[in-house]
Amino acid sequence: MNTLRKIHQVWHGIKDKIRITLSHHPVLYAFIGGTGVIIFWRGVWHTVDYLMEYFTIGDKVSTTSFSQLPWWDGPLSIAFGVSLLVSTGLFVVSFIGTETIISGLRGEKQLTEKTEEEVKFEVKESVRIKKEIHEMDARVKHVEAMLAKKQNKDS
């Protein structure tokens, strides 16, 4: 178990370095991420086509010529696409999205499950909280100004 933990830590460190490096080059990051998604879905498509041809005993229902492709073409593309997406930190984000994960961790409903009243309430609450933050900011600035005046008097 300790070895698995070490491997996970090393992999996590490598993944973080890749993400940090790519975040400084957003166009390259987007290109690599898009390529990973396309290769992943290509693998899914080819695997399903291969299975369809296999189980329908070659009724030629596939969208590719499987006489020229090895059976492992689809699974290899899936594996390569997944490794590309996981190593760049885009696998979960590409297919699920961070908002879904965060709302799940909070135990919130998905936006599609919420009623109109719930959405309106959340918007009103957001506006109220924003207004409160602005008021607190104004108070802090007022206190800072008073402290600055007092320091100038004492000097």
Do 67 and 128 fall into the same domain? no
- For the chain, give the mean pLDDT: 80
Do 95 and 137 fall into the same domain? no
Note the pLDDT tens digit of each residue in 21-79: 888 888 888 898 889 999 999 999 988 888 887 777 655 555 556 556 677 888 999 99
Do 60 and 121 fall into the same domain? no
Of the three residues 111, 126, 144, the one that is the final residue of a domain is 111
Do 72 and 138 fall into the same domain? no
Given pLDDT bands bounded at 50, 70 and 90, which one contains residue 130? very high
Q: CA of 37: how far to CAs of 24, 31, 50, 56, 66, in Å?
A: 21, 10, 20, 28, 22
Most distant CA atoms of the chain, gap in Å: 94
Cα separation of 148 and 132, whole Å? 24
Do 54 and 120 fall into the same domain? no
Do 119 and 62 fall into the same domain? no
pLDDT of residue 117: 79
115 pLDDT exceeds 80? no
Do 52 and 128 fall into the same domain? no
Do 122 and 73 fall into the same domain? no
Do 107 and 119 fall into the same domain? no
pTM of the model: 0.55
pLDDT of residue 61: 54
- Report the domain count for the chain: 2
Q: CA of 18: how far to CAs of 13, 57, 100, in Å?
A: 9, 44, 24
Residue 136: which domain range?
A: 114-155
Which residues are CB-contacts of 27 (< 8 A; sequence separation ≥ 6)?
none
pLDDT of residue 142: 92
Can you list the pairs that 54-60 forms with residues at least 24 positions away whose Cβ atoms lie under 8 Å?
none
Greater confidence (113 vs 144) lies with 144
